[in-house]
Structure 1
Amino acid sequence: MKNLLALNWKMNKTPSEARSWAAELTERFEEGDAELAVMAPFVTIPTLAANLPAGVGLGAQDVSAHESGAYTGETSAAMLADLGVRYVVVGHSERREYHAESDATVAAKAKLAQANGVTPIVCVGEKLDVREKGEHVAYTLEQLAGSLDGVGADVVVAYEPVWAIGTGKTATADDAEELAAAIRTALEQRYGKRAADIRVLYGGSVKPDNIASICAKPNVNGALVGGASLKAADVLGMNDALKSS
């Protein structure tokens, strides 16, 4: 399967900045061995829909756990689908920490996304203290089980070691593979043969100079990219690195 580069802008870029980024990407972008999708702030999604080069998909960074109704400030899965959004990130560590999102909330969001034809990217991963205790595999798999409760196989899983997000620290390719392999086994136990089509991403300080070695691992199928997604040149560099790897 193709690697997926899910480009998570977080709370960055106005619509006009998004338009400029898309224009710069379009000048040099060539489809290759990876699928690219931009996980954009809600307000920039219509701009990107009109300006992204062919072959680059639309994504969102969150979705409501409710279908519709009196939920001020929320954005429903149906709204995202109507804009042409293909992917949505759910359960990112920042949502879990700053908005107290539980595994049950993540699963509810993922199920509504799937019901509206949007593929959820379910994020799981441990903090540094968990890893230092040697409990990172068990912790992550428990989080995964809760976050996939009732969720179908049309899903992407992103392993993001929280200690490596925005810190400049990067798990080694072998660290990424250890968790990706464990996640793959858990997916096989849950979904059977359908698990072979589920992509497992690594997220945490991914850059053009380390993307190829990480994605070369047998159970890693791409990356959830944070800071390096903000510059079109870095995105092009990662795309090129995966073409030549």
Structure 2
Amino acid sequence: MTRPRPLLALNWKMNKTPSEARAWAADLAAALTPGGAELAVLAPAIDLPVLAGELPAGVALGGQDVSRHEAGAYTGEISAEMLRDVGATCVIVGHSERREYHAETDAVVAAKARQAQAFGLVPIVCVGESLDVRERGEQVNFTLDQLRGSTEGVGENLIVAYEPVWAIGTGRTATAKDAEEMAAAIRGALAGLYTAGAQSFRILYGGSVKPDNIASICAQPNVNGALVGGASLKVADVVAMNDALK
């Protein structure tokens, strides 16, 4: 099976107003050159309608979260159907910030992923360990347990993002070897959970990814791209990461 182009899933988190999103998209269109990675912009829901009409051709659009409910009295939530209707093709579920600040369990994450798939969205299922878990040497078992719980009843059309919590927004980055160790373990676990071939799954690394480390991380055999946080906010950094993967 031919290895797919690396995917850069650009998670803006709670940044950029719609007017700022429009300007960012225009700057990207002016600076991006062919080749390199596939790009997906995972923006705040309020920015998605603007980006749907402004992103360069071939750049995908995605959400940062989705409700586990199809519709109804769930004030403030965004449904999978709403995301699909505005042009999103993918959505993050189970980001470590959602797990920590909103007490999302693996069961909730799995329910969100199932709801996303029901409306044709590809869930980007996030898993990863805290620093204390890694220091105990339990990172692989912890992450694979989290993966199993977060994919219960979820179809095989998914992406997994490994994000060591201790490396998110801290400037600390797992080494390429660390990323590969976990990506290989995740791929092996997915092969046991699904009938699809192990190589059919995309596995991303997330955690302080930058232009100067993206190439070494994505060169690893089991890493298929990155979930990018802070470096996704500047077009120059996005272009530099894309060029590094050509």
TM-score, length-normalised on structure 1?
0.98
The answer to whether structure 1 residue 28 and structure 2 residue 31 are counterparts is: yes
The answer to whether structure 1 residue 48 and structure 2 residue 36 are counterparts is: no
Question: Which aligned pairs between 1:214-229 and structure 2 lie closer than 5 A?
Answer: 214-229=217-232
TM-score, length-normalised on structure 2?
0.98
The answer to whether structure 1 residue 102 and structure 2 residue 100 are counterparts is: no
**Contact 1:124–1:140 (CA<8 Å) still a contact in 2?**
yes
Structure 1 distance, partners of 2:86, 2:125, is 21
Query: 1:29 Cα deviation (Å)?
Result: 1.0
Query: 1:197 Cα deviation (Å)?
Result: 1.5
Query: 1:30 Cα deviation (Å)?
Result: 2.2
Query: 1:33 Cα deviation (Å)?
Result: 3.2
The answer to whether structure 1 residue 242 and structure 2 residue 245 are counterparts is: yes
**Contact 2:156–2:196 (CA<8 Å) still a contact in 1?**
no
- Residue 200 of structure 2 is matched in structure 1 by 197
For structure 1, the 5+ residue unaligned runs are none
Structure 2 distance, partners of 1:195, 1:46, is 35
For structure 2, the 5+ residue unaligned runs are none
SS of the residue 1:120 aligns to: strand
SS of the residue 2:195 aligns to: helix
**Contact 2:8–2:225 (CA<8 Å) still a contact in 1?**
yes
- Residue 174 of structure 1 is matched in structure 2 by 177
The answer to whether structure 1 residue 71 and structure 2 residue 68 are counterparts is: no
For 2:75, give the aligned amino acid: T
**Contact 1:159–1:200 (CA<8 Å) still a contact in 2?**
yes
Structure 2 distance, partners of 1:19, 1:75, is 21
Equivalent residue for 1:13, pick from 12, 16, 19: 16
The answer to whether structure 1 residue 145 and structure 2 residue 148 are counterparts is: yes
Structure 2 distance, partners of 1:118, 1:51, is 20
- RMSD over aligned CA atoms reads 0.7
Query: 1:2 Cα deviation (Å)?
Result: 1.5
**Contact 1:126–1:161 (CA<8 Å) still a contact in 2?**
yes
**Contact 1:206–1:225 (CA<8 Å) still a contact in 2?**
yes
Equivalent residue for 2:166, pick from 163, 182, 190: 163
